[in-house]
Structure 1
């Protein structure tokens, strides 16, 4: 059975049950790749009273300070006219979703501008370290705030689910830090770094503790203020809104069975890619709804003429695939890199127990290594062996060298080190 409705407030019962912010990592994990780096200049030559006045006029709950750092980011974003035009177009679709979530947790509406600097409002954005989605959640933090990642879905990419999780995070961060700029800084680098900066500066003012924060976080808050300014004053900088795919009226459908987005797009006579763009969290283009846990599909409003074929896909078609749900593993690329480095630092060792009649030459031939290698690995000064003695006969460390005799010639082969992978945030 299906039910058509407009965007309704997402249920937040499971988010309310999450433990407070104290479980968050205290190490710096920020990675907001959308924030450009700017050079610091202690002298402020281009103070603009007009910009200051405009910021004052749009300020609500969050202080919108005006200073040299903010001015530099205003210059950056005001100069990116095409990008900010796209943000204006996307905001017509996303901002109502963000506002509903922020309102549900009674946190400032201005926070809706953060996904601009987090992800350029791209649900599929993935940072170097694995932060994912509009709000750039890291895996462990997303799990802590009730988001699900399995073989079918990554709710970090779900605009509604992720927005409620982000709103809950900000509520917790503000409860701990008591200041909105500090809470925003914590979203980038974690509460631990913010608290340490507070202790070093002996102040709870963001601009006072800013020099003690990670470089990215120092830029993060000024960039946020600048994004608010440009989004509210586009006409002052010749920035025009660009129409986006999302400039359509949509319906929300709750399904309690498996539904193919490919088949649904065909029934609606629309591009499959466009329907998947409206539903970015489904990994396999399959909506894995169930009676216990119905799933949401966002779709363009349908006409009565196409309702029958759409109804058939949603209620009668069978998806031929396994319905087993497998929870995803942590995709934090920093952890994977650490594990690889740890494995390289602690190479695997192979042992051999000496039998009667064996010598170093026969053992070296058996394991395709050099006699000298065995002597070095076992710190042997001579060639004498004792039956029952244990010898290290292989060390697979990083790049290992092995000499092999082929057609009377010696060849050197190398085992390459494991390559690194490419690497939001989020926390």
Structure 2
């Protein structure tokens, strides 16, 4: 497990780390359980985004340390969201923060930004544990610590006696590793796609500006409070007016109801009466999938709000089909 952070397994037997585990394990186990309960609906989405972009899903534990999986967490320093972005960093990674909405509170947008930032840090420092450390204390702080220490060895950088890094950062990396140990030993098994986990997955869809959330909740036959809890980036109970359309998050098991009942912002409205899901396999294209279900490729692009015909392996598509095809597949 440690190797996914580029940490040598021998660190498990480091005296300082053992001392940290003995002192903090009970408290962090309790924190872990509370965080897991709070984030149970968004965890599969975060994990999927991490893996899709080449970052270990164990970086989920970095988000856990940052926010306890509270999408609208606010720190004393005014960092916000799952990944605790400061306003300036949010701007650098294209997260919109304005009077009516804050994308730092949006699961998909904030996670995508965090992935971009972590990948940038990994490219700069070459090791994932250095990326995590820099995420906490900044790139300059890590660069100076490595220069002073004459090494980028983890045990040296976070040594409590040498103090190359701030105490908060030394504890930060140990917390991530300990929570990862707790999580993996408790067999979270994020890779095991059970029906329950599929039901808890989230997806983003485009809605028109000015649309009341309660109207969307009514169309989806779900409680307004539930929809609001999934879209804490919205500061009011209405879709912002600043741009023509806005992405909101809904449970993936509501996506069929959404596309059947909500008028798509795109003029190329799909009028098929049924929707089916399709997971993209190796070698498949929009054209080949369209041929498989006897639909127009443009209908697939429109229904899934694709910018082009590029597909990501194992991603989920919604395919609009007629009743005949739907009945055939359902049998």
TM-score (norm 1): 0.51
Q: Does 1:217 align with 2:169?
A: yes
Q: Any conservation in 1 of the 2:44–2:201 contact (CA below 8 Å)? A: no
Q: Which runs of 5+ in 1 are unaligned?
A: 1-54, 236-243, 316-427
1:115 corresponds to: 63
1:148 corresponds to: 96
Q: Any conservation in 1 of the 2:208–2:265 contact (CA below 8 Å)? A: no
Equivalent residue of 1:124, what SS?
coil
Report the CA distance between 1:108 and its aligned residue: 2.6
Residues 139 and 69 of structure 1, relative CA distance in 2, 3 Å threshold: farther
Q: Any conservation in 2 of the 1:74–1:230 contact (CA below 8 Å)? A: no
Report the CA distance between 1:73 and its aligned residue: 4.6
Q: 1:262-301 alignment to 2 at 5 Å?
A: 262-266=214-218, 268=220, 270-288=222-240, 293-299=245-251, 301=253
1:129 corresponds to: 77
Q: Which runs of 5+ in 2 are unaligned?
A: 188-195, 267-331
Residues 133 and 109 of structure 1, relative CA distance in 2, 3 Å threshold: same
Report the CA distance between 1:71 and its aligned residue: 3.2
Q: CA RMSD in A?
A: 3.4
2:276 corresponds to: none
- How many pairs are equivalent? 250
Report the CA distance between 1:256 and its aligned residue: 2.9
Q: Any conservation in 1 of the 2:72–2:105 contact (CA below 8 Å)? A: yes
Q: Any conservation in 1 of the 2:50–2:57 contact (CA below 8 Å)? A: yes
Question: What whole-Å deviation, never above 9, does each CA across 1:341-388 have from its counterpart, x for those lacking one?
Answer: xxxxxxxxxxxxxxxxxxxxxxxxxxxxxxxxxxxxxxxxxxxxxxxx
1:198 corresponds to: 146
Provide the rounded CA distance (Å) in 1 between the counterparts of 2:83 and 2:30.
22
Residues 169 and 252 of structure 1, relative CA distance in 2, 3 Å threshold: closer
Report the CA distance between 1:302 and its aligned residue: 4.5
Residues 80 and 149 of structure 1, relative CA distance in 2, 3 Å threshold: same
Report the CA distance between 1:98 and its aligned residue: 2.2
TM-score (norm 2): 0.65
Q: Look at both structures and tell me which one has the larger radius of gyration over its CA atoms.
A: 1
Question: What whole-Å deviation, never above 9, does each CA across 1:142-188 have from its counterpart, x for those lacking one?
Answer: 10011111122101111111111111111111111122211111000
Q: Any conservation in 2 of the 1:254–1:297 contact (CA below 8 Å)? A: no
Provide the rounded CA distance (Å) in 2 between the counterparts of 1:303 and 1:80.
36
1:259 corresponds to: 211
Residues 313 and 268 of structure 1, relative CA distance in 2, 3 Å threshold: farther
Report the CA distance between 1:249 and its aligned residue: 5.9
Q: Does 1:229 align with 2:181?
A: yes
Q: Any conservation in 1 of the 2:81–2:105 contact (CA below 8 Å)? A: yes
Question: What whole-Å deviation, never above 9, does each CA across 1:236-276 have from its counterpart, x for those lacking one?
Answer: xxxxxxxx9x9746554321332211333355554432211
Q: Any conservation in 1 of the 2:207–2:246 contact (CA below 8 Å)? A: yes
Equivalent residue of 2:205, what SS?
strand
In the alignment, which of 41, 50, 62 is matched to residue 93 of structure 1? 41
Q: Any conservation in 2 of the 1:130–1:138 contact (CA below 8 Å)? A: yes
Q: Any conservation in 1 of the 2:239–2:246 contact (CA below 8 Å)? A: no
